[in-house]
Amino acid sequence: MMRSLFAVLCVVAWCGHAERSLARETSEGASITVWTAIIPDAFPRYVYTWRMKDDGSYREDGRDAASGAPIQSTLSGHWNSEAPRMVLRQQDLPYVFDGVVLGGLYTGTLYFNGRAISRFCANKGDEAPKRCDEGQGVASAESAAGAR
């Protein structure tokens, strides 16, 4: 009887610890959303990862798609979102990503100094899109004016 009671207490204690650990990992991970992007017209050989925090900041890492080697130091910036439109602005560089989020896909136009230079697309998570379709960019007079 004592052994079975001891076994039950051990299982309860272990499950409680496992639930607390899982909740902590989930809450820590919930504050960062990862997007993995390609920019085919301007930077066709590279893949970019954006780690976006709920506070509106993000960090960007880039790597060579073929070798996986880093191509830049980590950049940072700020993002905002209204309905489906999301805009990322790099800090210290005049790059702006202006696009639309539909489910787990973010597509749009990359601007440099207010001028459209490439389309881009990103998947939510760690896997880069295979390609960006021609129609996925959102370059327009309205977007270009907002990117400046």
Q: Determine the Cα–Cα distance for residues 48 and 43; give it in Å rounded to an integer.
A: 10
pLDDT tops 80 at residue 9? no
- Binning pLDDT at 50, 70 and 90, where does residue 4 land? very low
Token readout for 26 is 């989930």
Confidence of residue 31 (pLDDT cuts 50, 70, 90): confident
Mean pLDDT over each residue of the chain, to the nearest integer = 79
Percentage of the chain modeled with pLDDT above 70 = 70
Q: What is the pLDDT of residues 50-89, one digit of tens each?
A: 999 999 999 999 999 999 999 999 999 999 999 899 999 9
Distances in Å between the alpha carbon of 15 and those of 11, 12, 30, 50, 99? 6, 5, 22, 34, 44
Q: What is the pLDDT of residue 135?
A: 53
Give the residue among 70, 89, 69 at the shortest CA–CA distance from 80: 89
- Say how far apart CA 54 and CA 144 lie, in whole Å: 26
Q: How confident is the model at residue 1 (pLDDT cuts 50, 70, 90)?
A: very low
